[in-house]
Structure 1
Protein backbone atom coordinates (compact mmCIF):
# COMPACT_ATOMS: atom_id res chain seq x y z
CA UNK A 1 0.00 0.00 0.00
CA UNK A 2 1.52 3.29 -1.02
CA UNK A 3 -0.91 6.05 -1.88
CA UNK A 4 -1.63 7.69 1.48
CA UNK A 5 1.35 10.05 1.35
CA UNK A 6 0.31 11.20 -2.14
CA UNK A 7 -3.32 11.99 -1.39
CA UNK A 8 -3.19 12.75 2.33
CA UNK A 9 -2.04 16.35 2.05
CA UNK A 10 -5.35 18.08 2.82
CA UNK A 11 -5.59 19.32 6.39
CA UNK A 12 -8.68 17.26 7.28
CA UNK A 13 -9.52 14.89 10.10
CA UNK A 14 -9.67 11.55 8.32
CA UNK A 15 -12.11 10.24 10.94
CA UNK A 16 -14.54 12.95 9.85
CA UNK A 17 -13.91 12.02 6.22
CA UNK A 18 -14.69 8.37 6.96
CA UNK A 19 -17.83 9.25 8.92
CA UNK A 20 -19.28 11.49 6.23
CA UNK A 21 -18.39 8.95 3.53
CA UNK A 22 -20.26 6.21 5.36
CA UNK A 23 -23.22 8.52 5.86
CA UNK A 24 -23.24 9.62 2.22
CA UNK A 25 -23.16 5.97 1.19
CA UNK A 26 -25.97 5.00 3.54
CA UNK A 27 -28.22 7.87 2.48
CA UNK A 28 -27.74 7.10 -1.22
CA UNK A 29 -28.23 3.35 -0.85
CA UNK A 30 -32.03 3.11 -0.78
CA UNK A 31 -32.34 3.58 -4.55
CA UNK A 32 -31.12 0.01 -5.12
CA UNK A 33 -33.71 -1.62 -2.83
CA UNK A 34 -36.94 0.37 -3.06
CA UNK A 35 -39.92 -1.09 -4.94
CA UNK A 36 -40.41 2.21 -6.73
CA UNK A 37 -37.26 1.67 -8.83
CA UNK A 38 -38.40 -1.50 -10.63
CA UNK A 39 -41.86 0.03 -10.97
CA UNK A 40 -40.43 3.04 -12.79
CA UNK A 41 -38.19 0.78 -14.90
CA UNK A 42 -41.23 -1.27 -15.83
CA UNK A 43 -42.89 1.86 -17.19
CA UNK A 44 -39.92 2.11 -19.57
CA UNK A 45 -40.35 -1.49 -20.66
CA UNK A 46 -37.56 -3.12 -18.61
CA UNK A 47 -38.58 -5.63 -15.95
CA UNK A 48 -35.27 -7.36 -15.15
CA UNK A 49 -33.27 -5.99 -12.23
CA UNK A 50 -29.82 -6.15 -13.85
CA UNK A 51 -30.51 -4.13 -17.01
CA UNK A 52 -32.56 -1.62 -15.02
CA UNK A 53 -29.81 -1.21 -12.43
CA UNK A 54 -27.17 -0.50 -15.06
CA UNK A 55 -29.45 1.85 -17.01
CA UNK A 56 -30.41 3.86 -13.93
CA UNK A 57 -26.86 4.25 -12.70
CA UNK A 58 -25.16 4.70 -16.07
CA UNK A 59 -27.74 7.15 -17.46
CA UNK A 60 -25.74 10.27 -16.49
CA UNK A 61 -22.95 9.11 -18.83
CA UNK A 62 -25.32 9.11 -21.82
CA UNK A 63 -25.97 6.29 -24.26
CA UNK A 64 -22.60 4.62 -23.73
CA UNK A 65 -21.94 1.03 -24.79
CA UNK A 66 -21.91 -1.56 -22.06
CA UNK A 67 -18.10 -1.73 -22.15
CA UNK A 68 -17.89 1.87 -20.88
CA UNK A 69 -20.24 1.02 -18.02
CA UNK A 70 -18.07 -1.99 -17.20
CA UNK A 71 -14.99 0.22 -17.03
CA UNK A 72 -16.64 2.85 -14.83
CA UNK A 73 -18.32 0.42 -12.44
CA UNK A 74 -15.18 -1.75 -12.09
CA UNK A 75 -16.41 -4.51 -9.78
CA UNK A 76 -18.81 -6.27 -12.16
CA UNK A 77 -18.00 -9.09 -14.53
CA UNK A 78 -18.41 -8.50 -18.26
CA UNK A 79 -21.19 -11.08 -18.38
CA UNK A 80 -23.23 -9.12 -15.84
CA UNK A 81 -22.89 -5.76 -17.60
CA UNK A 82 -23.68 -7.17 -21.05
CA UNK A 83 -27.24 -7.50 -19.77
CA UNK A 84 -27.72 -3.76 -20.30
CA UNK A 85 -27.29 -4.03 -24.06
CA UNK A 86 -30.39 -2.51 -25.66
CA UNK A 87 -31.54 -0.39 -22.70
CA UNK A 88 -30.91 2.84 -24.64
CA UNK A 89 -33.14 1.53 -27.42
CA UNK A 90 -35.91 0.97 -24.89
CA UNK A 91 -35.60 4.48 -23.45
CA UNK A 92 -33.13 7.35 -23.65
CA UNK A 93 -30.64 8.06 -20.87
CA UNK A 94 -32.63 11.22 -20.09
CA UNK A 95 -35.78 9.13 -19.62
CA UNK A 96 -33.89 6.72 -17.36
CA UNK A 97 -32.57 9.62 -15.28
CA UNK A 98 -36.05 11.10 -14.96
CA UNK A 99 -37.37 7.69 -13.92
CA UNK A 100 -34.64 7.39 -11.28
CA UNK A 101 -35.59 10.77 -9.86
CA UNK A 102 -39.26 9.76 -9.90
CA UNK A 103 -38.45 6.57 -7.97
CA UNK A 104 -36.37 8.48 -5.42
CA UNK A 105 -39.08 11.12 -5.04
CA UNK A 106 -41.83 8.58 -4.47
CA UNK A 107 -39.74 6.59 -1.99
CA UNK A 108 -38.62 9.65 -0.02
CA UNK A 109 -42.24 10.72 0.34
CA UNK A 110 -43.39 7.22 1.28
CA UNK A 111 -40.96 6.84 4.18
CA UNK A 112 -41.56 10.45 5.33
CA UNK A 113 -37.98 11.58 5.89
CA UNK A 114 -37.78 13.77 8.99
CA UNK A 115 -36.01 16.78 7.49
CA UNK A 116 -37.46 20.29 7.56
CA UNK A 117 -37.14 22.71 4.68
CA UNK A 118 -34.56 24.65 6.68
CA UNK A 119 -32.52 21.51 7.35
CA UNK A 120 -32.58 20.55 3.67
CA UNK A 121 -31.44 24.07 2.77
CA UNK A 122 -28.66 23.89 5.37
CA UNK A 123 -27.49 20.52 4.03
CA UNK A 124 -27.42 21.99 0.53
CA UNK A 125 -25.40 24.97 1.77
CA UNK A 126 -22.78 22.49 2.98
CA UNK A 127 -22.71 19.92 0.20
CA UNK A 128 -23.05 22.33 -2.74
CA UNK A 129 -19.59 23.93 -2.23
CA UNK A 130 -18.10 20.45 -2.07
CA UNK A 131 -19.69 19.49 -5.38
CA UNK A 132 -18.81 22.83 -6.98
CA UNK A 133 -15.16 22.76 -5.90
CA UNK A 134 -14.41 19.08 -6.57
CA UNK A 135 -11.71 18.03 -9.00
CA UNK A 136 -13.40 15.65 -11.43
CA UNK A 137 -10.28 14.54 -13.29
CA UNK A 138 -10.24 10.75 -13.26
CA UNK A 139 -13.72 10.66 -11.68
CA UNK A 140 -16.02 9.56 -14.53
CA UNK A 141 -19.07 8.60 -12.49
CA UNK A 142 -18.95 11.73 -10.35
CA UNK A 143 -18.37 13.92 -13.41
CA UNK A 144 -21.32 12.36 -15.19
CA UNK A 145 -23.60 12.90 -12.21
CA UNK A 146 -22.57 16.51 -11.66
CA UNK A 147 -23.62 17.22 -15.25
CA UNK A 148 -27.20 16.13 -14.51
CA UNK A 149 -29.59 19.09 -13.98
CA UNK A 150 -30.95 19.04 -10.44
CA UNK A 151 -34.63 18.20 -10.07
CA UNK A 152 -37.05 20.79 -8.70
CA UNK A 153 -37.92 18.94 -5.50
CA UNK A 154 -35.48 20.12 -2.77
CA UNK A 155 -35.07 16.73 -1.09
CA UNK A 156 -34.52 14.87 -4.36
CA UNK A 157 -32.06 17.57 -5.43
CA UNK A 158 -30.17 17.05 -2.15
CA UNK A 159 -30.14 13.31 -2.85
CA UNK A 160 -28.61 13.92 -6.28
CA UNK A 161 -25.85 16.02 -4.72
CA UNK A 162 -25.29 13.13 -2.31
CA UNK A 163 -25.05 10.86 -5.35
CA UNK A 164 -22.35 13.04 -6.92
CA UNK A 165 -20.21 12.88 -3.79
CA UNK A 166 -20.89 9.19 -3.31
CA UNK A 167 -19.76 8.39 -6.85
CA UNK A 168 -16.70 10.63 -6.36
CA UNK A 169 -15.53 8.43 -3.53
CA UNK A 170 -16.31 5.35 -5.60
CA UNK A 171 -14.15 6.67 -8.43
CA UNK A 172 -11.36 7.40 -5.94
CA UNK A 173 -11.69 3.88 -4.58
CA UNK A 174 -11.18 2.45 -8.06
CA UNK A 175 -7.98 4.50 -8.33
CA UNK A 176 -6.73 3.01 -5.07
CA UNK A 177 -7.68 -0.54 -6.03
CA UNK A 178 -5.97 -0.31 -9.41
CA UNK A 179 -2.84 1.29 -7.94
CA UNK A 180 -2.57 -1.60 -5.49
CA UNK A 181 -3.07 -4.27 -8.18
CA UNK A 182 -6.47 -5.35 -6.87
CA UNK A 183 -8.59 -6.35 -9.83
CA UNK A 184 -12.38 -6.32 -9.95
CA UNK A 185 -12.92 -9.96 -8.98
CA UNK A 186 -10.14 -9.85 -6.39
CA UNK A 187 -11.78 -6.83 -4.77
CA UNK A 188 -15.10 -8.63 -4.56
CA UNK A 189 -13.52 -11.70 -3.00
CA UNK A 190 -11.62 -9.64 -0.45
CA UNK A 191 -14.77 -7.71 0.47
CA UNK A 192 -16.79 -10.86 1.05
CA UNK A 193 -13.98 -12.62 2.92
CA UNK A 194 -13.61 -9.71 5.34
CA UNK A 195 -17.35 -9.52 5.98
CA UNK A 196 -18.00 -6.21 4.25
CA UNK A 197 -20.16 -7.49 1.41
CA UNK A 198 -22.69 -10.36 1.51
CA UNK A 199 -21.34 -13.17 -0.65
CA UNK A 200 -24.77 -14.20 -1.92
CA UNK A 201 -25.45 -10.70 -3.22
CA UNK A 202 -21.96 -10.41 -4.70
CA UNK A 203 -22.43 -13.67 -6.60
CA UNK A 204 -25.96 -12.79 -7.75
CA UNK A 205 -25.14 -9.29 -9.00
CA UNK A 206 -21.48 -9.35 -10.09
CA UNK A 207 -21.77 -12.77 -11.77
CA UNK A 208 -18.15 -13.80 -11.48
CA UNK A 209 -17.86 -17.51 -12.30
CA UNK A 210 -16.66 -20.14 -9.84
CA UNK A 211 -13.43 -20.41 -11.83
CA UNK A 212 -12.85 -16.65 -11.72
CA UNK A 213 -13.55 -16.53 -7.98
CA UNK A 214 -11.17 -19.46 -7.44
CA UNK A 215 -8.43 -17.72 -9.43
CA UNK A 216 -8.94 -14.48 -7.47
CA UNK A 217 -8.83 -16.43 -4.23
CA UNK A 218 -5.53 -18.02 -5.26
CA UNK A 219 -4.04 -14.61 -6.01
CA UNK A 220 -5.13 -13.30 -2.62
CA UNK A 221 -3.75 -16.40 -0.89
CA UNK A 222 -0.43 -15.75 -2.60
CA UNK A 223 -0.46 -12.21 -1.21
CA UNK A 224 -1.06 -13.57 2.29
CA UNK A 225 -4.49 -11.93 2.52
CA UNK A 226 -6.58 -15.11 2.50
CA UNK A 227 -6.15 -18.57 3.94
CA UNK A 228 -6.41 -21.56 1.63
CA UNK A 229 -10.06 -22.02 2.65
CA UNK A 230 -10.90 -18.49 1.50
CA UNK A 231 -11.15 -16.93 4.95
CA UNK A 232 -9.34 -13.66 5.59
CA UNK A 233 -6.00 -13.58 7.36
CA UNK A 234 -5.07 -10.80 9.76
CA UNK A 235 -2.98 -9.36 6.96
CA UNK A 236 -5.99 -9.45 4.66
CA UNK A 237 -8.16 -7.62 7.16
CA UNK A 238 -5.41 -5.03 7.59
CA UNK A 239 -4.99 -4.69 3.83
CA UNK A 240 -8.68 -4.09 3.35
CA UNK A 241 -8.67 -1.39 6.03
CA UNK A 242 -5.58 0.19 4.48
CA UNK A 243 -7.41 0.38 1.15
CA UNK A 244 -10.22 2.28 2.89
CA UNK A 245 -7.70 4.53 4.66
CA UNK A 246 -6.01 5.37 1.36
CA UNK A 247 -9.41 6.16 -0.12
CA UNK A 248 -10.15 8.44 2.86
CA UNK A 249 -6.84 10.21 2.28
CA UNK A 250 -7.65 10.61 -1.41
CA UNK A 251 -11.04 12.11 -0.45
CA UNK A 252 -9.71 14.54 2.16
CA UNK A 253 -9.26 17.35 -0.35
CA UNK A 254 -12.88 16.92 -1.45
CA UNK A 255 -14.09 18.15 1.94
CA UNK A 256 -11.64 21.00 2.58
CA UNK A 257 -14.05 23.67 1.22
CA UNK A 258 -16.24 23.23 4.32
CA UNK A 259 -13.82 21.89 6.98
CA UNK A 260 -14.12 19.31 9.74
CA UNK A 261 -16.88 20.96 11.80
CA UNK A 262 -19.17 21.41 8.81
CA UNK A 263 -18.42 17.90 7.59
CA UNK A 264 -19.68 16.58 10.91
CA UNK A 265 -22.70 18.88 10.75
CA UNK A 266 -23.55 17.56 7.29
CA UNK A 267 -23.21 14.01 8.61
CA UNK A 268 -25.79 14.67 11.32
CA UNK A 269 -28.16 16.48 8.93
CA UNK A 270 -28.24 13.53 6.51
CA UNK A 271 -28.87 10.79 9.07
CA UNK A 272 -32.70 11.06 9.00
CA UNK A 273 -32.71 9.87 5.37
CA UNK A 274 -31.03 6.62 6.29
CA UNK A 275 -33.06 6.29 9.49
CA UNK A 276 -36.36 6.60 7.61
CA UNK A 277 -35.51 3.90 5.08
CA UNK A 278 -34.19 1.60 7.77
CA UNK A 279 -37.38 2.04 9.82
CA UNK A 280 -39.40 1.24 6.70
CA UNK A 281 -37.66 -2.16 6.39
CA UNK A 282 -35.93 -1.28 3.14
CA UNK A 283 -32.80 -3.37 3.56
CA UNK A 284 -32.44 -7.17 3.74
CA UNK A 285 -29.27 -6.71 5.84
CA UNK A 286 -27.96 -4.34 8.47
CA UNK A 287 -26.76 -0.94 7.30
CA UNK A 288 -25.62 1.39 10.05
CA UNK A 289 -23.76 4.63 10.18
CA UNK A 290 -20.19 3.49 10.64
CA UNK A 291 -20.96 0.03 9.20
CA UNK A 292 -19.64 -0.60 5.68
CA UNK A 293 -21.35 -3.97 5.31
CA UNK A 294 -23.70 -2.80 2.63
CA UNK A 295 -24.68 -4.39 -0.65
CA UNK A 296 -24.22 -1.33 -2.79
CA UNK A 297 -21.94 -0.81 -5.76
CA UNK A 298 -19.34 1.26 -3.94
CA UNK A 299 -18.86 -1.40 -1.27
CA UNK A 300 -17.17 -3.66 -3.79
CA UNK A 301 -15.48 -0.90 -5.74
Structure 2
Protein backbone atom coordinates (compact mmCIF):
# COMPACT_ATOMS: atom_id res chain seq x y z
CA UNK A 1 0.00 0.00 0.00
CA UNK A 2 1.34 3.43 -0.93
CA UNK A 3 1.73 5.91 1.90
CA UNK A 4 -0.36 9.05 1.39
CA UNK A 5 2.27 11.74 0.86
CA UNK A 6 -0.20 14.51 1.67
CA UNK A 7 -1.10 12.99 5.04
CA UNK A 8 2.55 12.35 5.85
CA UNK A 9 3.41 15.99 5.19
CA UNK A 10 0.45 17.18 7.24
CA UNK A 11 1.47 14.98 10.14
CA UNK A 12 5.00 16.37 10.12
CA UNK A 13 4.07 20.02 9.62
CA UNK A 14 1.28 20.06 12.21
CA UNK A 15 3.35 18.31 14.87
CA UNK A 16 6.59 20.17 14.15
CA UNK A 17 5.92 22.99 16.67
CA UNK A 18 6.06 20.40 19.46
CA UNK A 19 9.71 19.84 18.61
CA UNK A 20 10.59 23.25 17.20
CA UNK A 21 9.71 25.20 20.32
CA UNK A 22 12.91 23.90 21.96
CA UNK A 23 14.89 26.44 19.90
CA UNK A 24 12.92 29.39 21.29
CA UNK A 25 11.81 28.74 24.85
CA UNK A 26 13.63 30.29 27.84
CA UNK A 27 13.72 26.92 29.58
CA UNK A 28 16.32 25.74 27.07
CA UNK A 29 18.44 28.89 27.27
CA UNK A 30 18.41 28.73 31.08
CA UNK A 31 19.46 25.10 31.25
CA UNK A 32 22.25 25.50 28.71
CA UNK A 33 23.47 28.59 30.56
CA UNK A 34 23.61 26.54 33.76
CA UNK A 35 26.08 24.28 31.93
CA UNK A 36 28.18 27.28 30.91
CA UNK A 37 26.86 27.60 27.35
CA UNK A 38 25.90 30.82 25.59
CA UNK A 39 22.73 30.67 23.41
CA UNK A 40 24.43 29.83 20.09
CA UNK A 41 26.70 27.30 21.78
CA UNK A 42 23.67 25.80 23.47
CA UNK A 43 21.92 25.36 20.14
CA UNK A 44 24.83 23.70 18.35
CA UNK A 45 25.82 21.58 21.33
CA UNK A 46 22.29 20.44 22.15
CA UNK A 47 21.30 19.44 18.64
CA UNK A 48 24.74 17.99 17.89
CA UNK A 49 25.19 16.17 21.21
CA UNK A 50 23.60 13.02 19.78
CA UNK A 51 26.86 12.64 17.83
CA UNK A 52 28.89 12.81 21.03
CA UNK A 53 31.45 15.62 21.30
CA UNK A 54 30.67 16.80 17.77
CA UNK A 55 33.35 18.69 15.88
CA UNK A 56 32.50 21.98 14.16
CA UNK A 57 33.11 20.30 10.80
CA UNK A 58 30.50 17.62 11.52
CA UNK A 59 27.93 20.21 12.57
CA UNK A 60 28.69 22.46 9.58
CA UNK A 61 28.18 19.48 7.28
CA UNK A 62 24.98 18.15 8.81
CA UNK A 63 23.21 21.35 9.92
CA UNK A 64 24.03 22.62 6.41
CA UNK A 65 22.95 26.26 6.36
CA UNK A 66 24.82 27.91 9.24
CA UNK A 67 27.81 30.16 8.68
CA UNK A 68 30.89 28.04 9.48
CA UNK A 69 32.42 30.86 11.54
CA UNK A 70 29.35 30.88 13.82
CA UNK A 71 29.66 27.14 14.43
CA UNK A 72 33.39 27.42 15.16
CA UNK A 73 32.68 30.06 17.81
CA UNK A 74 30.68 27.45 19.71
CA UNK A 75 32.46 24.18 19.00
CA UNK A 76 34.57 22.45 20.14
CA UNK A 77 34.78 24.97 23.03
CA UNK A 78 31.42 23.79 24.41
CA UNK A 79 32.94 20.42 25.24
CA UNK A 80 35.53 22.10 27.47
CA UNK A 81 32.78 23.16 29.89
CA UNK A 82 30.23 20.34 29.65
CA UNK A 83 29.56 16.91 28.16
CA UNK A 84 27.18 15.67 25.47
CA UNK A 85 25.38 13.57 28.06
CA UNK A 86 24.68 16.58 30.27
CA UNK A 87 23.48 18.63 27.31
CA UNK A 88 21.10 15.89 26.16
CA UNK A 89 19.69 15.66 29.67
CA UNK A 90 19.29 19.45 29.85
CA UNK A 91 17.51 19.52 26.49
CA UNK A 92 15.01 16.87 27.56
CA UNK A 93 14.42 18.65 30.86
CA UNK A 94 13.83 21.93 29.02
CA UNK A 95 11.39 20.31 26.60
CA UNK A 96 9.46 18.76 29.47
CA UNK A 97 9.32 22.01 31.45
CA UNK A 98 8.29 24.18 28.50
CA UNK A 99 5.53 21.85 27.33
CA UNK A 100 4.23 21.42 30.87
CA UNK A 101 4.25 25.19 31.41
CA UNK A 102 1.55 25.52 28.76
CA UNK A 103 -0.28 22.33 29.84
CA UNK A 104 0.44 20.21 26.77
CA UNK A 105 0.61 17.22 29.12
CA UNK A 106 -3.06 17.75 30.02
CA UNK A 107 -4.41 17.29 26.48
CA UNK A 108 -6.58 14.14 26.70
CA UNK A 109 -5.32 12.52 23.49
CA UNK A 110 -1.63 12.82 24.39
CA UNK A 111 -1.04 9.09 24.91
CA UNK A 112 -2.75 8.16 21.64
CA UNK A 113 -0.81 10.77 19.67
CA UNK A 114 2.50 9.80 21.25
CA UNK A 115 1.92 6.13 20.47
CA UNK A 116 1.21 6.80 16.78
CA UNK A 117 4.11 9.20 16.42
CA UNK A 118 6.46 6.75 18.13
CA UNK A 119 5.53 3.94 15.75
CA UNK A 120 6.50 6.16 12.82
CA UNK A 121 9.63 7.44 14.54
CA UNK A 122 10.83 3.95 15.38
CA UNK A 123 11.05 3.30 11.64
CA UNK A 124 13.70 6.01 11.37
CA UNK A 125 16.23 3.58 12.81
CA UNK A 126 15.52 1.18 9.93
CA UNK A 127 16.35 3.76 7.25
CA UNK A 128 19.36 5.69 8.52
CA UNK A 129 21.73 5.16 5.61
CA UNK A 130 22.80 8.58 4.36
CA UNK A 131 20.92 10.32 7.19
CA UNK A 132 23.48 11.20 9.88
CA UNK A 133 21.39 13.41 12.15
CA UNK A 134 18.50 10.98 12.12
CA UNK A 135 20.86 8.08 12.81
CA UNK A 136 22.47 9.83 15.77
CA UNK A 137 19.15 10.73 17.37
CA UNK A 138 17.69 7.28 16.68
CA UNK A 139 20.48 5.80 18.81
CA UNK A 140 19.38 7.79 21.88
CA UNK A 141 17.19 6.02 24.47
CA UNK A 142 13.48 6.80 24.48
CA UNK A 143 12.46 9.07 27.36
CA UNK A 144 9.78 8.02 29.82
CA UNK A 145 6.20 9.27 29.69
CA UNK A 146 3.97 10.25 26.77
CA UNK A 147 4.89 13.95 26.80
CA UNK A 148 8.60 13.47 26.17
CA UNK A 149 7.85 10.40 24.06
CA UNK A 150 5.89 12.68 21.71
CA UNK A 151 8.65 15.30 21.72
CA UNK A 152 11.35 12.73 20.98
CA UNK A 153 9.27 11.06 18.27
CA UNK A 154 8.85 14.35 16.44
CA UNK A 155 12.55 15.07 16.91
CA UNK A 156 13.40 11.84 15.09
CA UNK A 157 10.86 12.49 12.34
CA UNK A 158 12.12 16.06 11.96
CA UNK A 159 15.80 15.07 11.67
CA UNK A 160 14.90 12.25 9.27
CA UNK A 161 13.08 14.67 7.04
CA UNK A 162 15.86 17.24 7.41
CA UNK A 163 18.54 14.82 6.25
CA UNK A 164 16.42 14.09 3.18
CA UNK A 165 15.97 17.80 2.59
CA UNK A 166 19.74 18.32 2.57
CA UNK A 167 20.06 15.51 0.03
CA UNK A 168 17.46 17.19 -2.18
CA UNK A 169 19.25 20.54 -1.94
CA UNK A 170 22.58 18.97 -2.86
CA UNK A 171 21.02 17.20 -5.83
CA UNK A 172 19.68 20.54 -7.11
CA UNK A 173 23.01 22.31 -6.55
CA UNK A 174 21.69 24.58 -3.81
CA UNK A 175 24.14 25.37 -1.02
CA UNK A 176 23.26 26.19 2.55
CA UNK A 177 23.32 29.97 2.22
CA UNK A 178 21.47 29.79 -1.10
CA UNK A 179 18.80 27.63 0.55
CA UNK A 180 18.27 30.29 3.21
CA UNK A 181 17.89 33.04 0.63
CA UNK A 182 15.44 31.04 -1.45
CA UNK A 183 13.44 30.22 1.68
CA UNK A 184 13.30 33.86 2.67
CA UNK A 185 12.24 34.83 -0.85
CA UNK A 186 9.10 32.69 -0.50
CA UNK A 187 7.83 34.97 2.26
CA UNK A 188 7.20 31.95 4.49
CA UNK A 189 9.98 32.87 6.92
CA UNK A 190 11.21 36.37 7.84
CA UNK A 191 14.58 36.99 6.23
CA UNK A 192 15.72 38.85 9.34
CA UNK A 193 15.27 35.67 11.39
CA UNK A 194 17.33 33.67 8.90
CA UNK A 195 20.09 36.28 8.89
CA UNK A 196 20.27 36.63 12.66
CA UNK A 197 20.06 32.93 13.48
CA UNK A 198 22.40 31.63 10.76
CA UNK A 199 25.13 34.23 11.16
CA UNK A 200 26.20 34.86 7.56
CA UNK A 201 28.05 38.16 6.97
CA UNK A 202 26.03 40.65 4.94
CA UNK A 203 28.55 40.72 2.10
CA UNK A 204 28.37 36.93 1.67
CA UNK A 205 24.58 37.06 1.80
CA UNK A 206 24.51 39.78 -0.88
CA UNK A 207 26.97 37.88 -3.09
CA UNK A 208 24.89 34.72 -2.85
CA UNK A 209 21.75 36.68 -3.74
CA UNK A 210 23.46 38.02 -6.83
CA UNK A 211 24.51 34.52 -7.81
CA UNK A 212 20.91 33.34 -7.55
CA UNK A 213 19.78 36.24 -9.72
CA UNK A 214 22.36 35.26 -12.32
CA UNK A 215 20.95 31.72 -12.24
CA UNK A 216 17.49 33.14 -12.95
CA UNK A 217 16.09 32.05 -9.59
CA UNK A 218 15.64 35.49 -8.01
CA UNK A 219 14.23 38.73 -9.32
CA UNK A 220 14.71 41.52 -6.84
CA UNK A 221 14.01 39.90 -3.47
CA UNK A 222 11.43 37.45 -4.81
CA UNK A 223 11.47 34.13 -6.61
CA UNK A 224 11.19 33.93 -10.37
CA UNK A 225 9.00 31.29 -11.96
CA UNK A 226 12.09 29.11 -12.31
CA UNK A 227 12.93 29.74 -8.65
CA UNK A 228 9.44 28.70 -7.54
CA UNK A 229 9.69 25.56 -9.65
CA UNK A 230 13.04 24.71 -8.08
CA UNK A 231 11.68 25.20 -4.57
CA UNK A 232 8.69 22.99 -5.39
CA UNK A 233 10.93 20.21 -6.72
CA UNK A 234 12.98 20.33 -3.55
CA UNK A 235 9.91 20.23 -1.32
CA UNK A 236 8.32 17.41 -3.33
CA UNK A 237 11.50 15.35 -3.16
CA UNK A 238 11.82 16.03 0.55
CA UNK A 239 8.27 14.77 1.06
CA UNK A 240 9.07 11.60 -0.86
CA UNK A 241 12.24 10.94 1.12
CA UNK A 242 10.34 11.30 4.41
CA UNK A 243 7.80 8.60 3.54
CA UNK A 244 9.62 5.47 4.84
CA UNK A 245 8.94 6.44 8.44
CA UNK A 246 5.24 7.08 7.97
CA UNK A 247 4.83 3.81 6.08
CA UNK A 248 4.72 2.15 9.50
CA UNK A 249 1.15 3.44 9.87
CA UNK A 250 -1.94 2.37 7.99
CA UNK A 251 -3.79 5.02 6.00
CA UNK A 252 -6.38 5.30 8.78
CA UNK A 253 -3.69 5.62 11.45
CA UNK A 254 -1.78 8.23 9.46
CA UNK A 255 -4.97 10.23 8.95
CA UNK A 256 -5.60 10.02 12.69
CA UNK A 257 -2.06 11.20 13.46
CA UNK A 258 -2.51 14.16 11.10
CA UNK A 259 -5.78 14.99 12.85
CA UNK A 260 -4.30 14.77 16.35
CA UNK A 261 -1.10 16.57 15.36
CA UNK A 262 -3.12 19.70 14.60
CA UNK A 263 -4.28 19.85 18.22
CA UNK A 264 -0.75 19.78 19.62
CA UNK A 265 0.85 22.02 17.04
CA UNK A 266 -1.85 24.64 17.46
CA UNK A 267 -1.58 24.50 21.24
CA UNK A 268 2.17 25.19 21.09
CA UNK A 269 1.76 28.04 18.60
CA UNK A 270 -1.15 29.63 20.48
CA UNK A 271 0.85 29.49 23.71
CA UNK A 272 3.60 31.58 22.09
CA UNK A 273 6.37 29.01 22.39
CA UNK A 274 7.66 29.80 18.90
CA UNK A 275 8.07 33.54 19.46
CA UNK A 276 11.23 35.01 17.96
CA UNK A 277 12.72 38.39 18.83
CA UNK A 278 15.36 39.81 16.48
The question of a shared fold, defined as TM-score above 0.5 by the shorter chain, is answered with: yes
Match of 2:143? 151
> Which runs of structure 1 show a deviation greater than 3 angstroms over 4 or more consecutive aligned residues?
none
- Aligned 1:1-301 pairs, distance under 5 A: 11-46=2-37, 48-85=38-75, 86-113=77-104, 114-116=106-108, 119-134=109-124, 135-227=127-219, 229-284=220-275
Segment drifting more, 246-255 vs 28-37 = 246-255
Segment drifting more, 262-271 vs 139-148 = 262-271
Tell me the CA shift for residue 257 of structure 1. Answer: 1.6
Tell me the CA shift for residue 278 of structure 1. Answer: 2.2
Quickly say closer, same or farther: Cα 1:171–1:24, change in 2 above 3 A.
farther
Q: CA RMSD in A?
A: 1.8
Segment drifting more, 251-260 vs 139-148 = 251-260
Q: Deviations over 1:42-67 (max 9, x none)?
A: 21112x21111111111111101111
Q: Deviations over 1:52-105 (max 9, x none)?
A: 111111111110111111111001110111122211121110100000011011
| Whole-angstrom CA distance in 2 between matches of 1:282 and 1:132 | 26
How many pairs are equivalent?
273
Segment drifting more, 250-259 vs 155-164 = 250-259
Give the unaligned 5+ runs of structure 2.
none
| Whole-angstrom CA distance in 2 between matches of 1:168 and 1:216 | 27
> What SS does the corresponding residue of 1:258 show, helix, strand or coil?
coil
| Whole-angstrom CA distance in 2 between matches of 1:163 and 1:281 | 19
- Report if aligned partners of 1:141, 1:167 keep a CA contact under 8 Å in 2: yes
| Whole-angstrom CA distance in 2 between matches of 1:12 and 1:151 | 28
Tell me the CA shift for residue 198 of structure 1. Answer: 1.4
TM-score w.r.t. length of structure 2: 0.92
Segment drifting more, 36-45 vs 130-139 = 130-139
Q: Deviations over 1:153-193 (max 9, x none)?
A: 32112211110011100000000000110001110110111
Tell me the CA shift for residue 144 of structure 1. Answer: 0.9
- Report if aligned partners of 2:123, 2:244 keep a CA contact under 8 Å in 1: no
| Whole-angstrom CA distance in 1 between matches of 2:192 and 2:19 | 22
